[in-house]
């Protein structure tokens, strides 16, 4: 009885979460404008989607910012994790606490804080400011992904490489990075996914002239949901689902190799 109740509760939660998304995907293939009546299967909303200059531009901004922010956040986050790992226990604990704070804060707090910082420093809001914001909130996730691999690594490997004549840069590239590469890849994929899906921080750190897909959907929804937005949301859901499955698959492979 208890097992049936648990399974029923789980099924109810999954239905509550995913049935609206399923309805949205089905409606993206509805030939009519009305969401209350099915008027036949059609791909015209997807055709309109790919013919929309504003949506294509928003997609370009979203993709480039996600790629660049993932790249820079992975580099900076990996170097930061190596530096934190080399600290003594107490400073390391303090730094990890400071690193974890941005991940526990609501996105709206981070977004407003960055917006006020840009206003104070007179940095114009646009593509560059959004990119900086995405790099900022992605770095802690990279550190969180890399730190466990650093702790698993033999702490004497780096020192042994130096004793054998390797330069610090060579030891970093050929000893440390290969050992932590699974965590680096996981952090990069996670950063890309978070950047691709972000709305709140993007909304506060950009201008109306520079929009990613999330802010574009929000602005269009205020005027009324168009069928092309259903198609766009369906494609975004599928893309993020594939990325999340890749991240989870990567994490499972890492666990299996332990």
CA–CA separation, 163 and 155 (whole Å): 14
Q: Cα separations (Å) of 228 from 153, 166, 172, 238? A: 49, 57, 48, 16
- pLDDT tens per residue, range 85-110: 888 888 888 888 888 888 888 888 88
3-state secondary structure of 71: helix
Statement: residue 222 has pLDDT above 80: no
> What does pLDDT average to over the chain?
84
Instruction: Give the pTM.
Output: 0.80
Domain at 53-256, CATH from 3.10.105.10, 3.40.50.720, 1.10.3720.10, 3.40.50.1000: 1.10.3720.10
- pLDDT tens per residue, range 132-163: 999 999 999 999 999 988 888 877 787 788 77
* pLDDT for residue 139: 93
Statement: residue 220 has pLDDT above 60: yes
For the chain, give the percent of residues with pLDDT over 90: 22
Of 35 and 123, more confident: 123
Give residue limits of the domains in the chain: 53-256
CA–CA separation, 103 and 93 (whole Å): 16
Q: How far out from the chain centre does Cα 58 lie?
A: 17
Identify which of 189, 211, 191 has the alpha carbon closest to the alpha carbon of residue 202. Answer: 211
State the DSSP H helix or E strand holding residue 87, giving kind and residue range, or none if neither: none
Residue 143 contacts residue 113 (beta carbons within 8 Å)? no
Of 150 and 225, more confident: 150
**pLDDT class of 254 with cuts at 50, 70, 90:** low
Residue 72 contacts residue 133 (beta carbons within 8 Å)? no
- pLDDT tens per residue, range 49-91: 888 888 889 889 999 999 999 999 999 999 999 888 888 888 8
* pLDDT for residue 77: 93
State the DSSP H helix or E strand holding residue 25, giving kind and residue range, or none if neither: helix 2-27
Q: What is the mean pLDDT of residues 21-42?
A: 80
Q: What is the mean pLDDT of residues 167-190?
A: 85
Q: Hey, CA dihedral for 235, 236, 241, 246, is it positive or negative?
A: positive
């Amino acid at each position: 009885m208890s097992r049936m109740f648990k399974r029923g509760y789980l099924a109810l939660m999954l239905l509550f979460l995913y049935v609206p998304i399923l309805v949205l995907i089905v409606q993206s293939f509805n030939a009519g404008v009305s969401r209350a009546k099915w008027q036949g299967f059609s791909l015209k909303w997807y055709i309109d989607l790919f013919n929309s200059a504003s949506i294509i531009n928003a997609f370009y901004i979203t993709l480039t910012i996600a790629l660049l922010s993932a790249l820079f956040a992975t580099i900076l986050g990996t170097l930061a994790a190596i530096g934190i790992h080399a600290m003594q226990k107490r400073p390391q604990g303090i730094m990890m606490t400071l690193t974890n704070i941005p991940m526990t804060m609501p996105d709206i707090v981070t977004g407003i804080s960055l917006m006020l910082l840009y206003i104070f420093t007179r940095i114009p809001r646009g593509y560059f400011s959004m990119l900086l914001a995405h790099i900022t909130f992605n770095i802690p996730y990279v550190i969180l992904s890399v730190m466990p691999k650093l702790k698993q690594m033999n702490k004497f490997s780096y020192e042994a490489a130096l004793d054998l004549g390797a330069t610090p840069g060579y030891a970093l590239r050929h000893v440390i990075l290969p050992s932590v590469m699974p965590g680096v890849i996981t952090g990069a994929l996670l950063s890309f996914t978070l950047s691709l899906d972000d709305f709140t921080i993007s909304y506060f750190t950009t201008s109306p002239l520079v929009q990613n897909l999330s802010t574009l959907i929000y602005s269009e929804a205020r005027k009324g949901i168009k069928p092309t937005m259903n198609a766009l949301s369906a494609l975004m859901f599928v893309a993020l689902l594939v990325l999340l499955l890749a991240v989870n698959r990567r994490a499972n492979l890492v666990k299996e190799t332990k």
